[in-house]
Amino acid sequence: MNKDTEARARQAADRFLEGYNCTQAVFLTYCEELGLDAETGLRLASPFGGGMGRLREVCGTVSGMFLAAGLQFGYAGPKDLEGKKRLYAIVQELARRFENENGSIVCRELLGLDHKRDEPTPEARTPDYYKKRPCKDLAAAAVRIYDGLCADIAAGRWSAD
């Protein structure tokens, strides 16, 4: 891992600790570099925290990687089947790498919850909250995974084909 990746991983973890949701913590790390202003990025990422609005489905840090992939590798035309195929292959590879490292891409499984969804009201961000949540570490892991795949694509070590 290069120094830039480690700095970005720390930045994502720190953002979660500042109160950003898990998706925002990861996605904001890439917004400006990929040409999107921070406020727009934060707004786009805001519904995905807590496994999509506290539904505890796909982990928000994974959603943050997927949003970054859309900005960096996404397609815009509805008939761009090759672009869609390439992006979906990237998304599946990111998910595979995250699951291999963390055991799941599902929020409730990563948090060890026995219920499918939570009330929409977010929990207060207290020291106890942060002690029981692996989210800052998952945010850092998501950045390392995303940067790793991007490096592999750039070096020709991974291809969507």
pLDDT digits (tens, 9 = 90+) for 75-132: 999 999 999 999 999 999 999 999 999 999 999 999 999 998 899 999 899 998 998 8
pLDDT average, residue stretch 40-50: 98
pLDDT of residue 45: 98
**Can you list the alpha helix ranges (DSSP code H) found in 19-134?**
22-31, 38-45, 49-52, 60-73, 81-102, 107-111, 127-132
The fraction of the chain above a pLDDT of 90, given in percent, is 92
pTM of the model: 0.96
Q: How far apart are CA 47 and CA 69, in angstroms?
A: 17
**Phi, psi at residue 106, to the nearest 5°?**
-100, 125
Q: How far apart are CA 101 and CA 76, in angstroms?
A: 31
